[in-house]
Homo-oligomer: A and B are copies of this chain.
């Protein structure tokens, strides 16, 4: 349903870029989970603008406020409402957008749909709405930490044509995450991070933008999450990721290669190691037939270049008259570094949802 993510664990979100705040309500979050606000705030810091020279200069403190559902540091089982106030909104940067449609944005579609539009900062279509994903996902991680050993890692795999060649699926995720956050690009290979940073700065200097890819890895996911038909784990994860602004494709495991493979080369052969089933390879990315098999979840997510650029571009307006538009707001020249915590936390949210769903699957 609109504005809702999740089936059992469920986030209902609200907020516009230049409105009062961004937030949401989290339903069916289990009771008695310790709520570490510092952890949630830290996740917000990771996506916060203004932290780096290669990101938008909009300054937001992005402080999380919990409005309900937490009592003496623990969840109570009641719906959890949260809110992050908007502070540094410069709506006048967007005055000319009141009527002009920016290319590759939701402006025209929104106007066609509703006949009214809060144009300031992109309104409801702003990437600032991902705050609610980060917060809800951080809550999900607090729950999963209590009851499982799952680990979530996201990092930038490529910026433009610069690609980190590393394979980190079997690495130490907390260490790798630390490593990725040592640079502005959120890439693990320092060498490629430096190249990527240069690419982003060149784009910015040229008044242009550039795309990129994020790799998601999840470890210690129990086998059995997901459903055989219509609510496959990977399908819902794809849905969640495709709702993140600028995402244009999602690929499970080695999905991009899959169409050119044969069964004999692509199949992941089961074996037993240390008394537990595993597969020799993990082309499937941890999900087979929509259900997790206990191997790490691996997903590649492709982002388009930010459409708002500092070059003049022709366009049209609400009267269908031609016009010219040139970016004035504060925008990221490359969206992937700030999308890293969004991807990781969104994956946690989806996984917690499936984890809870499985409590209905068995007799006891």
Contacts and interface: CB of A to CB of B under 8 A. Distances in A.
Interface string A108-134: 111011111110000111000100000
Using C-beta atoms within 8 Å of the partner chain, give the interface range for chain A. 35 or more
A229 B13 contact: yes
Interface stretch (A47-55, A177-185, A311-319): A311-319
A220 interface: no
A259 B7 contact: no
A263 B308 contact: yes
Given A25-B25, A125-B289, A116 B76 contact: yes
Contact of A14 (B79, B226, B268): B79
A303 B259 contact: yes
Contacts of A81: 14-15, 21, 23
Nearest to A331: B263
A362 interface: yes
Contacts of A113: 31, 77, 223-226, 291, 358, 361
Contacts of A314: 269-271
Nearest to A69: B14
A282 to B, nearest CB: 11
Interface stretch (A38-46, A168-176, A242-250): A242-250
A173 to B, nearest CB: 22
Contact of A112 (B103, B158, B223, B322): B223
Contacts of A304: 255, 258-259, 261, 266
Contact of A313 (B14, B256, B267, B287): B267
A292 interface: yes
Contacts of A25: 3, 12-14, 24-25
Interface in A217-246: 222-232, 234-236, 238-240, 242-243, 245
A20 B272 contact: no
A149 interface: no
Residue from A10, A14, A231, A362 with most neighbouring chain B CB atoms (10 Å): A14
A78 B128 CA distance: 14
B231 A3 contact: yes
B80 A14 contact: yes
Contacts of A313: 264, 267, 269
A101 B270 contact: yes
Interface in A186-207: 203
Interchain residue pairs A-B with the least CB separation, the first 7: A106-B289, A109-B291, A248-B255, A113-B224, A235-B242, A239-B239, A249-B251
